[in-house]
Structure 1
Amino acid sequence: MDTRHLEAFLGAVDAGSVTRAASVLQVTQPTVTNRIKALERSLGLTLLERLPDGVRPTSAGRSILEQAREIVRLSGRVRRIADASLAPQGKIRVGASESLINHRLLPLIEYLLLRYPDMDVSLRLSTPQEALAMLRNGQLDCVFMIGSGAPREDLDHCDLCPEPFALVAGRRRNPVRPDAEETVSSILVTADLDVRHCGSLLTEVESTLRARRTLKLDSITAVKRMAESGLGVGLLPEVTVAEDIAAGRLRRVVDWRPATPTCTQALWRRDDGGHPVLDAVLKAASDVVGAG
């Protein structure tokens, strides 16, 4: 049985029209009609009832709908498995936050471009909130973000590497009493910190420092500069401030280490598992980012 015939039948049922099915399947209307007729001949059944404004399945058509969908689904999976033995090619759209693009993903992108020349990788700078919304509505295929725990049930994820946060401030103002308790007016965080996935971390910091307010900024650089100027304490991924701490521009806030574990995570739609390009990107991310 030719699965293209089943796809034409299912397309017409789902669209309610042979013409609309042809548009979705990107073939001509006569092609869809001929495939449906060929399926009906092979089964000896009339599967569609022709109406003035479209089509609908007959009782016989309805009786095979579930099995037809399963055959098409399994056929597509077999094709993807077969394609996986070849070098993956095609476009993949990736979203990530500022900190991960600058400090984690550049080696991954270089690796993909060199290893898979036929892969078209589109990288979009997004906040975690924006990236997750675009992932769910199909505008992105994969998202990298810093998170804690598993995402919601419609997404799959893998933890690539630990990504701890650091609390940083400007140079000490009291060199005589370096252990003196600091008065913190503000906690400065970036849009990289998605409170829905790292909320317990922010709660922990607010409780520890008893700051009067939390300011959310769009830029990591802005958070670092404000912390350096003494306008607050910055809560940032540790990887983004390592050089600043080494150079003496920033310092860690005394005696604070995060109790909430956070990781760099890759997330994708659960229904997209088994796609060769996505699988190649996830495997590369595990090898390159996970090893970093």
Structure 2
Amino acid sequence: METRQLLAFTTVVQTGSFTKAAATLNCSQPTITTRIKALEEGLGVVLFRRLPRGIQMTSAGVELLPFARNIINLTEKARKAITMNGEPHGKLVIGSAQSLTDYRLLPLIEYMCWRYPSVQLSLHSRNALYNLNSVRDGQLDCAFFIGAIEPREGLETTVLCPEPLVLVAGPNHMLTQRQSLTEDDITSSTLIRAENGASYHELFEHSLGYDDTRAPVLELDSVDAAKRAVASGLGIALMPEVTVSAELADGRLVRLPWSSTFRVYTQFGWRQDNSTNPAVTALVSAAAQVVSDQVASLT
């Protein structure tokens, strides 16, 4: 099993055809076919089914894919590490929640670009579950996420800061007149989700016993859209305080009298086998410093 065979395999999966894979890798289609056949013979399995309208991965191919990606990534990282003498370099593909990308990470990105010009950052905003699974299977190098402190299988994690949550409504919402809120007050109001799949939504709704008989949930999957919807009176939303501090200060949104029964934190996670990557190490160190400074400036 050779790296070039694995690269041919993953490229065929990515492009969906042997012809496109050959164009991507700048080689001939027979070369791709030969490498795939050699890989199949070496493993003793069939990786693709050849169908009239294209190809389809077999179960063996699906099982091989994350391992193949990891081997290719590690091979490339080893090659670069040998030639760069430990200086942070290369490309880091990073996952993040949208709220963190927009309200916490821009100073970090600026610092990394200035301090480590040989490190290329590629940031992708998705929910925590997707990002952490993508770190595990090698599609992402690391991820920033909001969640409870708990073991994460196969990952190293570090806590960057507590992430306070606030329940907000528009200035004309009826709940803004209440001195305190009951569970029924909250569950009878339309809940607007700013980030689908965010663990703090699950913790919040579980703590209140949300079910199909409760008021509807409006899923917008956008922090800015959720803030506009809440301000217009469509419902209430649970959001990281850092994302709504400006709106709370100028009155476009109002903090409701609710206290969380759980705590969540902004955290950084990476694969355990990626702990010696100088670029990841540099990002961890920089993130801890930048986020700490950011939190201190707001207190």
**TM superposition outliers: structure 1 runs of 4+ over 3 Å:** 20-25, 172-184
SS at match of 1:150: coil
Structure having the higher Rg: 1
The 8 Å contact of residues 150 and 157 in structure 1, kept in 2 or not, is answered as: no
Q: Does 1:253 align with 2:261?
A: no
- Matched with 2:267 is 265
CA positional deviation for 1:252: 0.9
**8 A contact 1:96–1:124 mirrored in 2:** yes
Alignment of 1:60-209 (within 5 A): 83-84=85-86, 87-172=87-172, 178-179=178-179, 184-191=188-195, 194-195=198-199, 199-205=202-208
Give the superposed CA RMSD.
Answer: 3.3
Distance 1:213 1:253, change over 3 A: same
Contact 1:97/1:128, CA 8 A, preserved across alignment:
yes
Q: 1:151 to 1:193 in 2, by over 3 A?
A: farther
Structure 1 residue matching 2:108: 3-state secondary structure? helix
Q: CA deviation at 1:21?
A: 6.0
Q: Deviations over 1:150-200 (max 9, x none)?
A: 2432111111011111100011456996538657421112226523x7633
- Mapped to 1, the partners of 2:275 and 2:219 lie a distance apart of 34
2:290 to 270, 280, 288: 288
Task: Please report how far the alpha carbon of residue 291 of structure 1 lies from its aligned counterpart in structure 2 after TM superposition.
Answer: 3.0
Structure 2 residue corresponding to 1:278, chosen from 269, 276, 280 = 280
Report the Cα distance in structure 1 between the residues aligned to 2:169 and 2:175, rounded to whole angstroms.
14
Q: Could you tell me how far apart the structure 1 residues matched to 2:123 and 2:141 are?
A: 11
**C-alpha distance 280-21 of structure 1, shift in aligned 2 (>3 A):** closer
**In structure 2, how many angstroms separate the alpha carbons of the residues matched to 1:249 and 1:143?**
32
Q: TM-score, normalized by length of structure 2?
A: 0.64
- Residues 177-236 of structure 1, C-alpha deviation per residue, up to 9 Å, x if partnerless? 6538657421112226523x76333322557xx952333321112221221122211111
| In structure 2, distance between residues paired with 1:104 and 1:160 | 11
Which residue type is aligned with residue 127 of structure 1?
Answer: N
Of 219, 223, 227, the residue aligned with 1:220 is: 223
Q: Identity of counterpart residues, as a percentage?
A: 36
- Number of residues of Structure 1 aligned to a counterpart in Structure 2: 221
The 8 Å contact of residues 104 and 289 in structure 1, kept in 2 or not, is answered as: yes
The 8 Å contact of residues 95 and 144 in structure 2, kept in 1 or not, is answered as yes
Corresponding residue SS for 1:244: helix
Q: Given that residues 146 and 266 in structure 2 are in contact (C-alpha distance below 8 angstroms), is that contact kept between their aligned partners in structure 1?
A: yes
Match of 1:45 in 2: none
Q: TM-score, normalised by structure 1?
A: 0.66
Amino acid of the structure 2 residue aligned with 1:234: A
What residue number does 1:30 align with?
Answer: none
